[in-house]
Structure 1
């Protein structure tokens, strides 16, 4: 039976196409004094994709990206997605050994950077310097648009230590990201009129969260200048830009005043960063979403916090799984534990990556098949212990304990 409802995006380029189709003149990115429409973002990313294709980048190619948070980083992400290539953020130059490790383990032979970032990058890689002024006449979208990547092909692979000290590539497919984009749009009530803070750098998992919050809803990305990190400068920026959605760390929140940001309607905070008084202060005039994530995926569960929502010892309520993610609380023999009993948290579903890149040893150790699920599909052992608990809004997961990477981090998450 015919329907006017558009098909759900199955690939990352579908997300941009949907936003462009909705309103090509709508603002996609605000970066200081520059405003870029969705039509312009499409044209710029398509132009860059043409140039990258001319340099031999094809579907499946891992491409290192050495760019700070910026319009250029967003354009590059979209360009590589158009080509079916894999965006691999390299991280800051002050960690050259980590950069060399990522370059070697990802098997990337080509990268994208800027003139400002070029010095000191791994010389095993052929670096393409991003210059959007080149070939200004080529602004039409890539053709043919029918040459789409497959939903289960990788599109983004950041490296995370995940508490082990050894960075591991975590490949997100088009399917995982479009599933997360739909889940975040629904859970955090993002609309085309929303203004989403972009304060994380591309090598952080939170950058991907901010990107999906924005482009999964045809909203606007508001890029924070590199010099703005916290305090009154950050408050002035958020207030002046009228930001409506943000994911912030505890150390950033502690330098801000909740009542000074009237347009900020939805605030996301890692529940493990929650300290005494934060929930009461920040939930009074907005929705405070306490979240929990795993390496590669910043938000896998979340729940609203209220004035009476205070941390108890090391326990933190972390809400319920977002759409596309299933949570299992199991004992040592991989059987479900009773409600209220602590057990190991396993996560699965189409919104989560299923492997670690080129690490079958870690994949087989962390992704295990649990017998009572359909087809015994492997799920991720988070290494955390949780229990289901009753709350005023219904059952929610409570984080009890876990390894180093999930404990409260003094000073919050570093941004670069």
Structure 2
């Protein structure tokens, strides 16, 4: 047998796996927990507002239908320039239901960076709110979610689930789900197109690995322009859990600890730098912590893997992956103090 013959790939019959799109993941969460709280908003001092899965589904469907009437659909891109809030989650759900890809824009970023993201992506239409509209470039058409006229228009639309029959064109797994811009630490930020193809697998992995259920309360703390925000979206969807949205005025430290404690957050992704600013003592409800985006110092593991309620140890995971690979390619097993950090 020649060497070439020995290394030739085996010829086997393969079965193409059906891609589960982001709108389908959303629909599954609604079906699993319609009356459960989908999203609440929390700042350092109080919690205000929130929506059940059924309410979020209905409101995002109305908005999606309005966008479809404006010609938005698969292969289009829509900017979402809304500060972290219930409205920012609503906007992402609505864009996803149209089949278009969302371009998350942190409106608190420098104006030249925001302008680059919008012009480079070719976005001509976006969603925002009045508080930040003035700081956004005018070359895109902006729909303000909190405009009374928008609210009146939305009431005209039905809440029946959006299907391919309603969309401008059919949605396929290879279509863009979102376009996210890298940090730009090595030069000009570049837009990365991420399709629907990897979202379901990552969502399933998180649900299984972190044991996310509808009783979980997951954290939404990442900047909209950081792909960890999509990790947080999928973390909640996977278990039809409650997403606790942290005010954009909270950056870490005692304020973040107060939110974690008061909101009884059970699952959180936090970068090592932000996590190092938080005192873990007393956060007994927080049973799963995931970090990533930077190298994880060994002392951070030792500090956070502590006994919590019921005598259990908090589970601490380190995740790594380039933006291009649908958020993460590697996640550690629960880390052990005094053992070397081998990932990232």
- Give the structure with the larger strand fraction: 1
Question: Given the alignment, which residue of 45, 56, 62 partners 1:41?
Answer: 56
Indicate conservation of the 8 Å contact 1:244/1:266, yes or no: yes
2:270 corresponds in structure 1 to: 248
Instruction: Indicate how the Cα distance of structure 1 residues 204 and 271 shifts in structure 2: closer, same or farther if over 3 A, else same.
Output: closer
Indicate conservation of the 8 Å contact 2:66/2:157, yes or no: no
Please state how far the C-alpha of 1:201 moved relative to its aligned partner: 2.0
- Give the structure with the larger helix fraction: 2
Question: TM-score normalised to the size of structure 2?
Answer: 0.83
Question: Given the alignment, which residue of 302, 310, 328 partners 2:331?
Answer: 302
Please state how far the C-alpha of 1:218 moved relative to its aligned partner: 0.9
- CA distance in 2 between partners of 1:66 and 1:120 (Å): 10
* Residue 133 (str. 1) matches residue 148 (str. 2): no
Please state how far the C-alpha of 1:162 moved relative to its aligned partner: 5.7
* Residue 291 (str. 1) matches residue 319 (str. 2): yes
* Residue 231 (str. 1) matches residue 253 (str. 2): yes
Instruction: Indicate how the Cα distance of structure 1 residues 9 and 223 shifts in structure 2: closer, same or farther if over 3 A, else same.
Output: farther
| 1:38-86 Cα distance to aligned partner (Å, 9 max, x none) | 1001101001111112222222211111111111111111111111111
| 1:297-340 Cα distance to aligned partner (Å, 9 max, x none) | 44321112111224xxxxx412xxxxxxxxxxxxxxxxxxxxxx
Please state how far the C-alpha of 1:271 moved relative to its aligned partner: 7.9
Q: How does 1:53-72 map to 2 (within 5 A)?
A: 53-72=68-87
2:105 corresponds in structure 1 to: 90
Query: Per the alignment, in what secondary structure is the counterpart of residue 317 of structure 2?
Result: strand
Query: Per the alignment, in what secondary structure is the counterpart of residue 116 of structure 1?
Result: helix
Instruction: Indicate how the Cα distance of structure 1 residues 232 and 34 shifts in structure 2: closer, same or farther if over 3 A, else same.
Output: same
* Residue 117 (str. 1) matches residue 136 (str. 2): no
Name which of structure 1's ranges 154-163 and 281-290 shifts more when overlaid on structure 2: 154-163
Instruction: Indicate how the Cα distance of structure 1 residues 9 and 151 shifts in structure 2: closer, same or farther if over 3 A, else same.
Output: closer
- CA distance in 2 between partners of 1:227 and 1:309 (Å): 35
Instruction: Indicate how the Cα distance of structure 1 residues 93 and 197 shifts in structure 2: closer, same or farther if over 3 A, else same.
Output: closer
Where in structure 1 are there 5+ consecutive unaligned residues? 1-6, 311-315, 319-398, 400-416
Question: Given the alignment, which residue of 186, 202, 220 partners 1:164?
Answer: 186
Question: Given the alignment, which residue of 20, 32, 41 partners 2:30?
Answer: 20
Please state how far the C-alpha of 1:146 moved relative to its aligned partner: 5.4
Please state how far the C-alpha of 1:208 moved relative to its aligned partner: 0.7
Indicate conservation of the 8 Å contact 1:113/1:128, yes or no: yes
Question: TM-score normalised to the size of structure 1?
Answer: 0.69
Name which of structure 1's ranges 289-298 and 18-27 shifts more when overlaid on structure 2: 289-298
- CA distance in 2 between partners of 1:105 and 1:69 (Å): 23
1:104 corresponds in structure 2 to: 119
Instruction: Identify the structure with bigger relative contact order (alpha carbons < 8 Å, sequence gap 6+).
Output: 2
- Number of residue pairs aligned between Structure 1 and Structure 2: 308
